[in-house]
Structure 1
Amino acid sequence: MLMLSLRSAVLSFCLVAFSPAALNPASAQVIDYDRLDQRLTRLAAEDEIVGLAVAVIENGEIRFARGYGVTTHGGTPVSDTTVFRWASLSKGVAASEVTKLAEQGKLSLADPVAKFGTSLRLPGGAERMATLEDVLSHQLSIVSNAFDTRLEDGRDPAEIRRSLGNLKAICPVGECHTYQNVAFDTLSEVIESVTHTSYADAVRKALFEPLGMVSASIGRVGLQASESWAEPHVKRGRTAGLPERKVVNDDYYRVPAAGGVNGSIRDLALYARAQMGLEPDVLSEFALAQMQTPRVYTRREQSGITRRYKGHMKDARYALGWRVYKYGETGTRVVGHRGAVEGYRSLILFDPEKDTGVVALWNSSSRLPVGVEFEVMDMAYNLPPQDWMELDTDRAGGGK
Structure 2
Amino acid sequence: MVGVAIAIVENGQISFVKGYGVTQIGTADPVTPTTVFRWASLSKGVAGTLVAELAREGRLSLDTPVSQFQTTLRLPGGAEDRVTVRDLLSQRTGVVRNAYDEKLEEGQDPKLIRASLAQLPAFCSPGQCYTYQNVAFDAASEVVQRVTGRPYGDVVRDKLFLPLGMTNASVGRAGLESAPSWARPHRSRGQMLQTKDAYYRVPAAGGVNSSIFDLAKWMRAQMGGATAVLPSALLDEVHAPLVATPPHGPRGEADRALNAHAYGLGWRDFSYAGHRQVGHRGAVDGYRSLILFDPVERTGIAMLWNSHSSKPVGLQLELLDMLYGLPRHDWMKLDEKPAGPAVTVAAASVSTSPGRTGGGR
Per the normalisation by structure 2, the TM-score is: 0.92
Query: Is the CA contact 1:95–1:136 (under 8 Å) kept in the aligned structure 2?
Result: yes
1:267 to 195, 208, 214: 214
Find the counterpart in structure 1 of residue 226 from structure 2: 279
Which structure has the highest helix share of the two? Answer: 1
Find the counterpart in structure 2 of residue 176 from structure 1: 129
| Post-superposition offset of 1:395 | 5.4
Worse-matched range after superposition: 110-119 or 72-81: 72-81
Worse-matched range after superposition: 374-383 or 76-85: 374-383
**Against the structure 1 CA distance between its residues 283 and 252, is the aligned structure 2 distance closer, same or farther, given a 3 Å change threshold?**
same
Q: C-alpha separation between the residues in 2 aligned to 1:220 and 1:246? A: 15
| Post-superposition offset of 1:192 | 0.6
What count of residue pairs does the alignment treat as equivalent? 341
Is residue 368 of structure 1 aligned with residue 320 of structure 2? no
Q: C-alpha separation between the residues in 1 aligned to 2:24 and 2:255? A: 33
Query: Is the CA contact 1:211–1:270 (under 8 Å) kept in the aligned structure 2?
Result: yes
Worse-matched range after superposition: 86-95 or 67-76: 67-76
| Post-superposition offset of 1:243 | 2.1
Give the residue type in structure 1 aligned to 2:262: R
Q: Equivalent residues in 2 for 1:1-400 (5 A)? A: 49-75=1-27, 76-235=29-188, 242-300=189-247, 307-309=252-254, 311-328=256-273, 331-394=274-337, 396=339
Q: Per-residue CA shift, 1:213-267, capped at 9, x if unaligned?
A: 01000111110000000000014xxxxxx32101101100000000000000000
| Post-superposition offset of 1:304 | 5.3
| Unpaired segments ≥5 residues, structure 1 | 1-48, 236-241
Secondary structure class of the residue paired with 1:299: coil
Give the residue type in structure 1 aligned to 2:184: E
Q: C-alpha separation between the residues in 2 aligned to 1:81 and 1:318? A: 30
Query: Is the CA contact 1:368–1:389 (under 8 Å) kept in the aligned structure 2?
Result: yes
Query: Is the CA contact 1:103–1:286 (under 8 Å) kept in the aligned structure 2?
Result: no
Q: C-alpha separation between the residues in 1 aligned to 2:145 and 2:157? A: 13
Per the normalisation by structure 1, the TM-score is: 0.83
**Against the structure 1 CA distance between its residues 188 and 226, is the aligned structure 2 distance closer, same or farther, given a 3 Å change threshold?**
same
| Unpaired segments ≥5 residues, structure 2 | 344-361
| Post-superposition offset of 1:393 | 3.0
Larger Rg: 1
| Identical-pair percentage | 53
| Post-superposition offset of 1:380 | 1.1
Secondary structure class of the residue paired with 2:322: helix
| Post-superposition offset of 1:284 | 1.0
Q: C-alpha separation between the residues in 1 aligned to 2:136 and 2:34? A: 32
- Deviant stretches of 4+, over 2 Å: 307-311, 393-397
Pick 1 or 2: higher relative contact order, CA cutoff 8 A, min separation 6. Answer: 2
| Post-superposition offset of 1:53 | 0.2
**Against the structure 1 CA distance between its residues 146 and 310, is the aligned structure 2 distance closer, same or farther, given a 3 Å change threshold?**
closer
Give the residue type in structure 2 aligned to 1:284: P
Give the residue type in structure 2 aligned to 1:120: L
Q: C-alpha separation between the residues in 1 aligned to 2:255 and 2:98? A: 26
Secondary structure class of the residue paired with 2:247: helix
Query: Is the CA contact 1:387–1:393 (under 8 Å) kept in the aligned structure 2?
Result: no
